[in-house]
Structure formats: structure tokens, C-alpha cells
A and B are shown apart, each in its own frame.
Chain A
Amino acid sequence: MSQIKNQLAQLNGSAGPLFISYYTAQGEPFPNNVDKLCGPNMTDFPPFHPNGTEKTKLVELYRIVAYLSASLGNVTRDQRILNPNALSLHSKLNATVDIMRGLLSNVLCRLCNKYHVGHVDVTYGPDTSSKDVFQKKKLGCQLLGTYKQVISVVAQAF
């Protein structure tokens, strides 16, 4: 469980720099319109209830991390194309995705070992491959904004 907490702390500590790095790398109008373009107004983001039981929180955490991991995978793929020179952003995205992979493993083991939960249904975000560039950037920015907001809540919940 301490590993999950440390991972959440890692994610919580890196979410802010990742968000800044992202909208900075996208260029205008994102840096000057962060609130408008990157507001956490994603409707399909998995819910999280900090006051739930540990098992519930672990299940909800698993869904959130699975959602984020998949979405950040898409964002990483898009940024390699849209901003191939934003290496710092790429590095941060990769590190976040890796941490989430580890967090998923830990949460799954915790659910499996302690709560005997072997399977959790998860949801994924929309596919952005068909979106235009601006929409890709905007969806990515909204995702990171939401991630930053949610992860702080989740980290505090554990």
C-alpha cells in the first residue's frame, strides 16, 4: 500500500509540471488561455469517491489510472507528431505513463491479494486520431488539467 501511496505522490508531484509543460509546448493560444482551453470539464472521466472504502477507492483508482494511462498514451502519440521537438514533454509523459503502469500493477495486486478482486471493468476516453490538430491539443490539455485536479484528490485519499 505504501508503494501505491508513493506512486500517487509521484504522480501528484509531477502532474503540475506536466500540465505546464504541455500547454507551453502547444504554443498559442494555449499558454494564455489555459482556463478556457484546458479546463477540467471532461464528462467521461471516471469518478472517484475519497470517502469510500479502501477497496472501493482502489477499484475507482484502478479505473481512473487505466483511463488516464490509455488517454496519456494517445496524447503521447499525438505529441510526438505535433511537437516532435518537445522532448521534455515527451519525457514527462512517458514517465507518467510508466508510473501509471506500475500503479495499475500494484492496485491490481492489492485488489487481488487482499480483496480477491481479479477483474475490474474499465472505460477509456475517445479516440483522438481522427481529430484535427487543435482538437488533439485541446483534448490533451483538458485531460492533463483534469488529471492534475483529480490526482491531488486521489493522493490525499490514500
Chain B
Amino acid sequence: MSTLRIWLTQALFIFLITESIGQLLEPCGYIYPEFPVVQRGSNFTAICVLKEECLQQYYANASFIVWKTNHVAVPKEQVTVINRTTSSVTFTDMVLQTVQLTCNVLSFGQIEQNVYGTTVLSGFPPDIPTNLSCIVNEGKNMLCHWDPGRETYLETNYTLKSEWPTEKFPDCHSKHGTSCMVSFSPIYFVNIEVWVEAENALGKVSSEAINFDPVDKVKHIPPYNLSVSNSEELSSILKLTWNNSGSLRLKSDIQYRTRDASTWIQVPLEDTASSRTSFTIQDLKPFTEYVFRIRTIKEDGKGYWSDWSEEASGVTYEDRPSKPPSFWFKINPSYTQESRSARLIWKELPLSEANGKILDYEVILTQWKSFSQNYTTNGTELIVNLTNNHYIASLTARNMVGKSDAAVLAIPSSHFKASHPVVDLKAFPKDNKLWVEWTAPRKTVKKYIIEWCVLSDNSPCVPDWQQEGGSVTRAYLRGSLLESKCYLITVTPVFTSGPGSSESVKAYLKQAAPSRGPTVRTKKVGKNEAVLEWDQLPVDDQNGFIRNYSISYRTIVGNEIVVNVDSSHTEYTLSPLSSDTLYMVRMAAYTDEGGKDGPEFTFTTPKFAQGEIEAIVVPVCLAFLLTTLLGVLFCFNKRDLIKKHIWPNVPDPSKSHIAQWSPHTPPRHNFNSKDQMYSDGNFTDVSVVEIEANNKKPCPDDLKSLDLFKKEKISTEGHSSGIGGSSCMSSSRPSISSNEENESAQNTASTVQYSTVVHSGYRHQVPSVQVFSRSESTQPLLDSEERPEDLQLADAVDSRDEILPRQQYFKQNCRQPEASPDIPHFERSNQVSSGSEEDFVRLKQQVSDPISKPCGSEQHRLFQEGPATGALGAGTDGQVEQFESVGMGTVLDEEIPKSYLPQTVRQGGYMPQ
């Protein structure tokens, strides 16, 4: 009950709402015409009529009407107020397809309210359809087409009407406006009238009616069950049979082609004008597969050709081969002198010439004026052993029907020399084929053999070949050629007597850019140039004829320079280049079709050219040497001057005056060695040192220089300065001094006859009395005189040895307190003077041990350098001679017992002891 109450309430509410909305939606006026359709370019007028109640409600009239098209107010010039409630608007030359036209009113003179609206359509009336035609697809209903004319821009209905004189057929309403398929089956042999009616809002038109018999508009179903059969009697015919649809008489159109052909051959239409279901094709090639197709049309030619039937094929029967095979031979070069191996080769006959399946080949070899040899094979080559004589080879191909004509080839004797080659041999690509062209030799040519193979570094040249007639001078290679491959093509003319000379040429079917660029490297790099070299590209990478190379080089910051180089070169010199610069080089190889860059290569030019360093250094060295030499020469020439600065003159002690010399005067220096040596107290001689009057006045500086010089002499030569054997090693040094040293010593002695305190004993002759000669010079000769503390120290070491202070005096810095090493020195001298080299070596060994320890580093160096300077290097003869001289000197000393002076040893000098 409550549900019913709710339902009634809702229904009442909806009713009231609907009623109120209906009152609200009631328009205040209308536009006439309500659904206007206007022809394009024509004028159009619409009127808006307001209701009276609205006029009062809104305090408005027709003058308050505002027309709008597509929400844009219409100019007042186009608006006309007809009366109090009606306003009209006029449009000229309507061009828009659709226009929204609204009538609005200004209520209370201000508020614009929409009164009514409509859509104005514009377009064209339909044109009269033209070109009406119909087709009857067999098994389907009739389909008619027409041309509707220009676009109407309006909804237009096209109706295809058809009728017999006695009957009308259902109309066909088109969906597309250009064609329509009727709904009834076509009835042949009755004329039917067909026309098209076109109608839209602006008009209705009809096309011209066409009257025709549908049977004349038929497109038949294609023939079916097409079959092909051959005849064993005739290898040139094939018979076709097929079925036609329907019961009408039809004529046929037959086409055929070989299986591998693309174009069809037309059977003359007059041969198939009559209705038939079979036909025999003649003049066909034997053993060839043919493909056929067929179509039909009504016998009188009216209507449409049917579509082509499905293709059917058949093979004609075999016939004997029409041509002999191409025939050639190859002689194996590596064979014995008495016989040779020949490889006879031939080509399989093309199907058009074989005329059937080739069962086998028969080869007959006939030696000159001799018997024949027959061979039968299924293959296309035959290897036979031949003598060196001339042969005639003939080849025939056999199929099921018969044999071909024989191909005859002369195989000349092994001594035959080929001649008469073709001339002007050229090869070039054309139409995607590689053509060969030549000029025939003057001799009559029976045929030409063209051979070709791919040149490659990776695979051998496997030749293919073909045969051309003797009158041919141009042919294309019939093999499957590849692009970017280099072909070596050889043309050999064949005469009746045998093959002629061959000519070859290289060619490409199609060139391409190289697969890779050449790898460039430097052969030689100079300061301002670099010689680049590269290898020719392998033929597999060339992909064409290399026409030229381009070398691109640049520095890191510089512009790239490109140089083109002829393809025949394999090296190139880049010049000028900057020294000490990194260059980057890239090389490209170009064919006719493009180029390819190789890897980039870098090199650096040197800072100096080759030999440039030598050119600088050698002169500098030479100049240095020359300067040094000049310096030496200068020094040599100016040695006196230099000597004056380096070795100042030492006052000659020999020219000094000895004021007093008392043998009782206690020795200031204890010369221990001499003490031992002259232990018996015999002192045989006294040296008198005289100082020349013309000597320069000695000065302490000179002495110091002398002192230094002595040190140098000790350290470098291992000898004392030669001043009276005052050195601790002085007594033994003469035996190992060199001549130069002697001379130096002599020179020194000539000017530095300073002082000498020696004994006169010799050869175990011990002087009985120690005699000392003392210089009278007041010049401080020795450091010991200036430094008596050294002497005191020496006395403290060995108070017994009275000679030691004297020895220390001459020894300068040598602090060796013991004089015992002097003893072996004298012994060694004696031994050397009278002994052999072995004795000397032994002596040196004996000497070195006791001296090396106490005498410090300098003394130790003395004996190390001594042998190097003369004892071992210069030989013992000189040393022996020196020793002898020394010995002689001592003998002289014995003869002149007054003194033991170096001056007496040799002319102008002295020999240190």
C-alpha cells in the first residue's frame, strides 16, 4: 500500500514537471520555411513570426528581432520588418553548405532571447546520370554503373529501374550512387530497359534508358578443366581441351608461352572464332614445356571477355638434337715427352637444342692418317692420352630420338705453335652483362672459345668457358657472374688446323668501392719530408680497377692536405713537412665507383735531419781539438813563461855557500834507514850544493809551490821530487821512474840544485864516516827547518837514529818514522840492475807490503800506480837501463866521492834515489 502511494506521488511529480517544462519550451515564434534547402548561389529569404502573447510579455515587437547566422548577427540591411509580428531576412548567393539561422528578440528592449532556430542547407540538384552500362556476371545478377555527375552536397537517392515491355522489375536503390546490382536473375534473349533516377531536395532527374538483351552483357565464367596433351608422331604440337560454362556458343582466346618465358604468344583469334572446346597448337619446339591459358566470349563478340582460365602446361615430344655441343680441349702440360694428356670438355646442350634428354655423348678421336678411337660417356668431359701427333676429335650428343651433328675439333701436334690471335680485345659491362668484343684475325676462324675466371688471392682461377661462332666478334659471358669481382677473360680463335693464340683482358661486371683502404707506412722520415709506402690492395679487396690513391695528411692542429697519387705508385714523398711534428696520414684507394679509407697512420718528423747532429758535433769537436792543440802548442812554446808561473825557479843549492860543515854537528834528522844502511859509520862522500848566482831569489812562495809540486809528484808518479832523495821513498824511486820523469827530474835538477845529503855508499859499501854536506844558504829550504816541532817529534820517536830528522826534513808530509822500507829499495835497485824482470816483480811485491801500511794512502797509491806508469807497461828493458844508469850514477858517485848529486847521473839533471 505504501509502495503504491510512493509510486503515485512520483508519477504526479513527473507529470507536473513535464507540464511546466512544456509551457516553458513553447516558443515565442517560428521561422519559415522550417527546413529550408537552398541551391548554391541562389537567394534565400526567411521570415520570423512572433506570437502576440510574447509581444506583451516581453514588451517587444518585430522591430526588436535580431537575426543571426552561425551565432553572428545579420546586418540590418538584410533584415526587413514586415509588420508588428513579422520580420524577414534575405541572403544572396548562398555558398555555405549548412547555416544555422536563429531568430532572437530583445525583451524589454535589452535582453536578447532566442525565439527559434533552423538549419539552412545548400547544394545542387542532381545531374542527369550518364554513361549507364550494365554487365551480367555469369552466375550472378546484373550490375549497372553510371556517372552521377557533380557533387550535390545534399542527400540524393539514385534508383535503377528496369522493365520489360510487359513487366516491371523491382527497383534497385544504390548505396554508393554510382552502381547498383539488381535483385533478380538475368533472363537472356529478352530485351530489358534500364535507366537511373536521381532525386534530392532540389529536384529529380532520370537518365536516358538503355535497352539491351542481357545475354549481350554477359561476362562468362572462365573455361575450366583445361588440359594439354602431346603427340608422339609430331614433336611440334600440343592439343588443348577445356569446358565452357552455360549453353551459349562461345569463341575462345588462347595464349601460350614456354615455361621460362614471360611473354605470351597469341593464337590468332580467327582460328578460334567458332565455338569449340579443344584446339591444337602447332609449330612448337620439341621437348619443350609450354604453358597455356584461355578465355571466352559470346560467339558474336557481344558481351565481355571472361577472365583467364587457370594455366595448364604440357611438354612436346622429343626430337633429335638440333645442334652439336660446344667442344673444347685442354692439354695437360706436365706430361712426358712421348705422350700427353688431353682433357676434352664440352657443354651440355641447352634444352632448346637438345630436343630431349641427352642419354650420352660419343667422342671419336682420329689420329692423322691412322685409326680411330671411340669413347662414350655420360659426362661432359673425357681425359685421353694422346701422342704428340695431330688429332681430330668429333663429338655427338644422343637422345631418345637420334644423334646430333658432330662437333669437330682439331688437336694440333705438340710442336704446333699457335698464332693469329684476336686483336683489340675489349671487355665492358652493359645491361648488367659482361660483354667481350674483339676484331677477328685475318685468317678464317671456325669458332671462338671464350674463357673466364675470377681473379682472387684466396682461391685459384677456375675457368668457365663458352663457344661462339666464327662470324661473331661480340658476345656476353653467359655464366653467372658476380659483381665486384675481377674476371680474367681469354679469347681464343679456333681455326680448322687448331686453336690460335689467346688474348686476355680483365673486366668487372660492376665495380664498387674497395672493401678497405691501403695501409700506409713510412719508409723514411726526414726532418722536412717523409717517404710513405704502401702495398697494392689485394684483388679481392679492390672491387674494381684502382684508378688513383689519395693521401690525406695533417697535423694535430693543421688543415688536412690531400694529395692524389697515381695507382701505379706504391710510395710517395710528403714534402715539405715541419720538423719535430706529429703527422696523421690516411690513404684511400678509389675505383670508378668510389673510394675507401685505410687506417690512419701517425709519424713524427725528427727535430734534426739525418747527419745534422754530426754536422754540428764534428766541427765543434774538431774546433775543440784544434783549440786544445793550439793551446798545447802555445803552452809548449811558452812553457818557460808558464813554468815560471807554475814551477818557480828554485835556487840552486849547488851554488850556495856552505859556511860551515862540521861532522860533529849532531844530525838534525835521524835517517834511520841510512843508519842501518851505513851502520858501520862509513860516509864516503859529501855533496856540495852550489847556488848559481844568476838564480832568482828564492822566496817562500816558491818553496811552497815546490812543496805542492812535490806532493803532486808523489801522488801521481810515486816519486819524490828528486831533491836529494829526501823523500821517504826517494832511495827506491829511481828504479821505477820513467824517462820523462827523469828528464823532468833532470830539468828540475838543472835549476833546483837545492841540497843533497846522501851517503856515498854503494853496493854494500858502507861509508865509514857519516858525512853531511850542508848548504850555506840562509834560505829556508825545507819545512822542517821552519817547523822544528816536526823534528822534535821525530826525535822523540826514535832518539837513537840520528839520521831520521834529516830524512824527515826531505820527506815533508810523510810521517813515517821508520826508515826500514828504504833498505829494500836499495836492495831492489841492486837486484834489478843485475837481475831479470822476475826479480823486479818479486822485489815490487816485497816492497809493497811494508810500505802500504805505514805510509798512508798516498804511499799506497804510489805503488799502485807505479807499475802502471812504467814498470809493467814500458817493459823492463828501460827500467833495467835506468837501473843501470842509476848504478852507473852511483859508480860515478864513487868516483866522485864528494857528493851524491843527481847532476852527476845524467846530463843536466839528476836521478832521485
Contacts and interface: CB of A to CB of B under 8 A. Distances in A.
28 contacts: A3-B190, A3-B191, A3-B213, A6-B188, A6-B189, A6-B215, A7-B188, A7-B189, A10-B188, A10-B247, A13-B247, A14-B247, A94-B185, A95-B185, A98-B185, A98-B187, A99-B187, A99-B188, A99-B189, A101-B190, A102-B164, A102-B189, A102-B190, A103-B190, A105-B164, A105-B190, A106-B190, A108-B166
Contacts of B188: 6-7, 10, 99, 102
Interface in A92-117: 94-95, 98-99, 101-106, 108-109
A102 B184 CA distance: 13
A101 B166 CA distance: 10
B167 interface: yes
Nearest to A108: B166
Contacts of A102: 164, 187-190
A106 B190 CA distance: 6
Interface in A1-58: 2-4, 6-7, 10, 13-14
A10 B189 contact: yes
Contact of B166 (A3, A6, A98, A109): A109
B165 interface: yes
B220 to A, nearest CB: 15
Interface string A122-145: 000000000000000000000000
Interface string B142-179: 00000000000000000000001111000000000000
A99 to B, nearest CB: 7
B185 to A, nearest CB: 6
Question: Which interface residue of B165, B166, B247 has the most chain A CB atoms within 10 A?
Answer: B166
B250 to A, nearest CB: 14
A122 B910 CA distance: 188
Contacts of A108: 165-166
Interface in B846-881: none
Given A3-B213, A10-B247, A13-B247, A106 B189 contact: yes
A3 B191 CA distance: 9
Contact of A105 (B167, B185, B215, B247): B167
A103 B166 CA distance: 11
Interface residues of B, number: 13
A3 B207 CA distance: 27
Question: Which interface residue of B185, B187, B215, B247 has the most chain A CB atoms within 10 A?
Answer: B187
Q: Which 7 A-B pairs have CB atoms at the shortest separation, nearest pair first?
A: A102-B190, A3-B189, A102-B187, A6-B189, A105-B166, A7-B189, A105-B164
Given A3-B191, A98-B185, 18 more contacts: A2-B189, A3-B189, A3-B190, A6-B188, A6-B189, A7-B190, A10-B188, A99-B188, A99-B189, A101-B187, A101-B190, A102-B189, A102-B190, A103-B189, A104-B166, A105-B165, A105-B166, A108-B165
A30 B532 CA distance: 108
A96 to B, nearest CB: 11
B544 to A, nearest CB: 71
Contacts of B189: 2-4, 6-7, 10, 99, 102-103, 106
Contacts of B166: 104-105, 108-109
Contacts of B190: 3, 7, 101-103, 105-106
A6 B167 CA distance: 20
B214 to A, nearest CB: 9
Interface of A: 2-4, 6-7, 10, 13-14, 94-95, 98-99, 101-106, 108-109
Contacts of B167: 101, 105
Nearest to A12: B247
Interface in B222-251: 247
A106 B215 CA distance: 14
Contacts of A7: 188-190
Contacts of A106: 189-190
Interface string B188-201: 11110000000000
Nearest to B166: A105
A101 B187 CA distance: 8
B187 A109 contact: no
A13 B254 CA distance: 27
Nearest to A98: B187
A106 B187 CA distance: 12
B181 to A, nearest CB: 17
Question: Which interface residue of A6, A13, A103, A108 has the most chain B CB atoms within 10 A?
Answer: A6
Nearest to B189: A3
B9 to A, nearest CB: 60
A7 B188 CA distance: 8
A101 B247 CA distance: 18
Contacts of A98: 185, 187
Contacts of A4: 189
A116 to B, nearest CB: 15
Contacts of A104: 166
A113 B164 CA distance: 14
Contacts of B185: 94-95, 98
Nearest to A10: B247
Nearest to B190: A102
A89 B876 CA distance: 153
A98 B190 CA distance: 11
A111 to B, nearest CB: 11
Nearest to B247: A13
Contacts of A94: 185
Contacts of B187: 98-99, 101-102
A130 to B, nearest CB: 30
Contacts of A10: 188-189, 247
Contacts of A13: 247
A108 B187 CA distance: 16
A87 to B, nearest CB: 14
A51 B190 CA distance: 25
Nearest to B214: A102
A68 B744 CA distance: 172
A62 to B, nearest CB: 11
Interface in B245-303: 247
Contacts of B191: 3
Nearest to B215: A6
A151 B164 CA distance: 24
Contacts of B165: 105, 108-109
A2 to B, nearest CB: 8
Interface in B656-705: none
A3 B166 CA distance: 16
A3 B212 CA distance: 12
A10 B165 CA distance: 21
A61 to B, nearest CB: 14
A19 B142 CA distance: 28
A106 B191 CA distance: 8
Contacts of A2: 189
Interface string B8-25: 000000000000000000
Question: Which interface residue of A95, A101, A102 has the most chain B CB atoms within 10 A?
Answer: A102
A145 B68 CA distance: 80
